[in-house]
Structure 1
Amino acid sequence: MENVKIPLNLFIEYLQIEKNYSEYTIVCYKRDIEEFIEFMKREAIADFSEVTYADVRLFLTDLHKRHQASRSVARKISSLRSFYKFLLREKKVEENPFSLASLPKKEQKVPKFLYSEELESLFHVNDLNTAIGQRNQALIELLYATGIRVSECCQIQLTDIDFSVSTILVHGKGKKQRYVPFGSYAKEALERYIRDGREQLLRKAKTSHKYLFLNFRGNPLTPRGVRNILNEIVEKAAITQKISPHVLRHTFATHLLNEGADMRTVQELLGHAHLSSTQVYTHVTKNRLRNIYLHTHPRA
C-alpha cells in the first residue's frame, strides 16, 4: 500500500502550507484518513482511485457496528470528502465517492455550565499567600473572564497582556489571533501572580521564558496540567459536578448571553469562525426564563 502514502503526504503538506491549518486539525485529518486506509487494506483495495460509493457505504456500516458517535462519523466523512476533493484537483482520482455520503445528524447537547453561586465558591479556595495559590487564582479568574480555550491559555506570554487596556492577544485555532478583554478581578489576580508567584516559580526553571502560567518546576503549564489544577480546585470547593476548562468557557458564553450580550460579540470573543458554533449557547437558565415570564406576562 505504498502508493497510498504519497497522496496522503501531499495532502498533509497542502493542509500545512496552503490551508494553514493548526497542528491539532492536521493530526485529526491524518488519523481519519489512516483509518480509512486500514479499511482499504482489509477490503484489498490497492488505490484511492478504486474506491466506489459501495465501498464508502461499507466503511460507514463498519463504523456503525463499532458504535462510533454520530459526531465522530460526521468528522470522518468530512475529512475524507476534503481529501478526495484534493485528489480530484491533483488528478489522482476521477470522482469523489464521499460526495454522496450524507452526514449523520449531530446530537444536540446543551453545554454544561455553572450557575453564579457554584462559580463563586471556586474563587475562594486558593491560598493567595503561596505561589501556587496565586497562579491557580489567576488561572481560574482568567478562564472565566475571557472564555479562552485551554490550549490558548497555555500559549499566553507576558508580552501578550496589555494591562493599560485590560486585553490579551490570544493565539487561536488556525493561527488566528484576536484581542480579548478581561475584568478587574482577573486583572488583580494576574498582577499579583506576575509580581510575586510567577517570579517564585520561574526561579526553579532551568531557562528563563515569557510564558504566563508555569508549573511547580517553572516550566510552561500544559493543557493537562490546567485540567489537574481545576480538579484540585473543584475538590477543595466541594462541588459535586465535574468541571473542565471547557465548562468555564461554556459558563462564560452562557452568562454573557443571559445578561443581554449579542451573539456576534460572543462569537468574536470565543474565536468561533461560524455563528452556528455560538448558537449552541442560546439556551438560558430556568431562573432567567421564569424572571422574564414574571416581569412580562400580564397575568403572571
Structure 2
Amino acid sequence: MTVLDIGKINLKSDRWDLQNSSSLGDVVTFFFDFIPNQWVKKTIKELTIDSIALGKPSLMTLIRYNTSLKHFFAFLKEYSIELNSFADLTNRHTEMFVFYLQQSGMANSTCSIAMSTLKWIIEYGQFFDYDGFPEREIFDGQEYSKLKTEDVLKTKHISDEIMIRIESALVNDKDTMLKCLIEIGIDTGIRLSEALELERGCIIEDFTGKPILHVVSKKNNTERFIPVSVRVKKAVNTLETLSEEARIGLGSNLITCYRMKITKGYNRMTQAYFRKKLKYFIKRNDLYDSDGGLYPLTYHALRHTLGTKMLNCGMTIFEVQEYLGHLSLHSTAGYAKVLSETVSQEYNKLGFVGKIVEGINQKTLGEDKRFDPETLKSAALPDGSCVKPISNEGKICAKYNMCIICPKFVTTPDHLQIHKDHLARILSDKEAYMAAEYIGTSNHLQVIETALKAVIEQLEVMVVGKH
C-alpha cells in the first residue's frame, strides 16, 4: 500500500476496496457502514488512514480490527448506549463490554481481538491527542484475564495422539500441495500467511550445507532465516516443482501458485482456500476428537505445538521468540504453560530423577501397577518405559522426547547399549544433536549428558553384579 494508493481512498465511502496482493487475496476491504454516529465513523476512518500511512499496525491487523469493531457497536446497540464521541466512554462501559463478550458465546480469541480493537482505538487517539477521547484511563488492565484468553493457548496444543494420526494421514494423502504445507507447518511453526508467501529459492544452505528457510512476515513487516529439517527442504522443492507452470502463467515467484481444475486458469493459494482444503483433509482422513466431532485442526495450532515442544526441549524463551518471529515475548510466554520447572530443578540436584531397576515387574514397581501386555506395550520406550500408563495416570505426555530427565522414566540393564549409543551421538557432534532435538542451550545439553552418564554408570554396575 503506497502513499499514492492512500490518496485514492474515498473517505466519504463506507466501503474501501484496496489493492493488496497477499495470502488473503488481491483485495482487502474495510467496512464502516455499521457505525451509526457520523463523528465516530469519521474519526475511525482517520485513525485507519493514519495507521495505513504509518504502516503500524500492519494492514492485515487493521483488517482484523475493522472486522472485530462490529462487536463493540453490537454491544452499544444491545445496551442502548448512545455514543457521541469516545470521550463518553468510562471504565464502567469497558467492564460492561467485557461482560457482554463473556456472555456472547464467541471463541475466546474472538473476544480478545474485539477488546484489542477497542483498546487500540482509544489508546491511539489518546496518544496522538485526538479530540473527543477520554482524558482518564478507562481500562483496568484485567480485561484479558477476565476474558480467559490465556486458556485459549492450552486448546491450541495438539496432543501426541492426534499428531501421530496427522502424520500417518500425510503419508498417503493425494493432495501434494496441502501435504507439503502441513509438513512445513509441523516442522517450522511458521504462520499460514508466511507459508503462503514462500517464494522460489527460499531454501538456502549455510556453510555446513544445512538448509535454511527465508521467511517473510507481512504481518510484522519483517524477515528471518531459520534452520529447517530435510523434510522441509524436500517439501519446498516439491512445491517449487508443482507450482512452476502456474508461476510462469501468473508471472509470480510464489511456490503456492496452482492451476485451477475447472477454468484451467492459474491462481495463488489464499488463506481461505487453504482452510477449505484443510477441512477436507480432516474429513477424508477421519480425524475426530474425543467427542466424536471432526478435529478442529488449524495451521496456527501446529505453530503453538512446535513452540511448546521447543521450550520443553530446553530452548530459551528468547530463542523461541526469534525462531517463530514474535515481536514481543507475550506470545512466546504462552507456550511455556506446559513446562514443569520441578523436573529441571530436581534433576540439577540429583543428576537423574527416574528409576533404574532390574526389570519392569511387580517386584520393582509395586503390586498396585498394571502389567498386562497392552499396558506394557503402550508404556514401552526405546530406552526404557514410562510409568504413566502402568500407574494408570494416562498415556498422553507433554514432555515429548525428554524422558531421560523425567521422574516417571524407568530403565533397565537391557537398555544399557541404547543409552551408550545415545551418549555417543551427543559426544560425536553436539551441535548436530542440539539442532536435531531442538535443544537451544549448551547448559541443557549438559543436563542430558550428565543424566546419561549417571544412568550408564549405574546400569554397568548392575550388569557386572550379575556376572
TM-score tier (shorter)? 0.7 to 0.9
Cα displacement string for residues 219-273 of structure 1 (whole angstroms, at most 9, x for unaligned residues): 2111223233334444555443423222322332233334333332222111122
Partner of 1:108: 151
Report Cα offsets for 1:189-212 as digits up to 9, x if no partner. Answer: 3224423x2235557x4x331111
1:102–1:122: structure 2 CA closer, same or farther, 3 Å change rule? same
CA distance, structure 1, for counterparts of residue 169 and residue 83 of structure 2? 55
Please identify which structure carries the higher helix content.
1
For the pair 1:189 / 2:232, whether they are aligned, the reply is no
Match of 2:377 in 1: none
Q: 1:214 matched to which residue of 2?
A: 257
Q: 1:198 to 1:256 in 2, by over 3 A?
A: same
Unpaired runs of at least 5, structure 1: none
Is it true that 1:44 corresponds to 2:82 in the alignment? yes
Residues 71 and 114, structure 2, Cα contact 8 Å, conserved in 1: no
Find the counterpart in structure 1 of residue 28 from structure 2.
Answer: none
Give the AA of the match of 2:267: N
Seen in structure 2, the aligned counterparts of structure 1 residues 117 and 27 have a Cα distance that, compared at 3 Å, is closer
Q: TM-score, normalised by structure 1?
A: 0.79
Match status 1:286 vs 2:413:
no
- Which structure carries more relative contact order (alpha carbon 8 Å, separation 6+)? 1
What is the distance in 2 between the residues matched to 1:252 and 1:149?
12
Partner in structure 1 of residue 123 of structure 2: 85
User: Within 1, Cα distance between the matches of 2:237 and 2:172?
Assistant: 19
Cα shift readout 1:3-29 (whole Å, capped 9, x = no counterpart)? 112211121123223352222311233
Displacement of 1:216: 3.7
**Does residue 1:198 correspond to 2:198, yes or no?**
no
Partner of 1:6: 42
Q: Flag the 1:192–1:48 CA change in 2: closer, same or farther, 3 A.
A: closer
Q: Does 1:166 align with 2:211?
A: yes
- 1:265 alignment partner in structure 2: 319
C-alpha offsets along residues 156-213 of structure 1, whole Å, 9 cap, x if unaligned? 1214332565223222222122222221122123224423x2235557x4x3311111
Other structure's SS at 1:240 match: coil
Query: Shift of residue 57 of structure 1?
Result: 4.1
Aligned CA distance change for structure 1 residues 103 and 119 (closer, same or farther; 3 Å): same
Asked if 1:29 is matched to 2:65, the reply is: yes
Cα drift, residue 121 of structure 1: 1.0
Aligned pair count reads 290
User: Are the equivalent residues in 2 in contact too, given 1:145–1:182 (CA < 8 A)?
Assistant: yes
Cα deviation, 1:95-143, whole Å, max 9, x if unaligned, reads: 246234741412424132242633431341145xxxx53x334322222
Tell me, what secondary structure is at the counterpart of 2:157? coil
Match 1:143 to one of 170, 182, 185 = 185
Which of 235, 249, 252 pairs up with 2:303? 249
Instruction: Give the alignment's Cα RMSD to 1 decimal.
Output: 3.3
Percent sequence identity is 21
Q: Which amino acid aligns with 2:169?
A: L
* Runs of 4+ in structure 1 over 6 Å off: none
Paired residue secondary structure (2:52)? helix
Match of 1:125 among 172, 176, 179: 172
**Is 2:262 the counterpart of 1:223?**
no
User: Mean alpha-carbon deviation: is it higher for 99-108 or for 143-152?
Assistant: 99-108
User: For 1:169, what is the secondary structure of its paired residue?
Assistant: strand
For normalisation by structure 2, the TM-score amounts to 0.53
Looking at structure 2, the residues matched to 272 and 20 of structure 1 have their Cα atoms a distance apart, in angstroms, of 15
CA, structure 1 residues 267+74, in 2 after alignment: closer, same or farther (shift >3 Å)?
same
**Structure with greater strand percent:** 2
Match in the other structure for 1:95: 135
Q: Over alpha carbons, which structure has the higher Rg? A: 2
CA contact under 8 A between 1:125 and 1:236: conserved in structure 2?
A: no
Task: Check whether the contact 1:20–1:175 (CA below 8 A) recurs between aligned residues.
Answer: no
Counterpart amino acid of residue 213 in structure 1: T
Checking the alignment, whether the CA contact within 8 Å between 1:143 and 1:248 is kept in structure 2 is yes
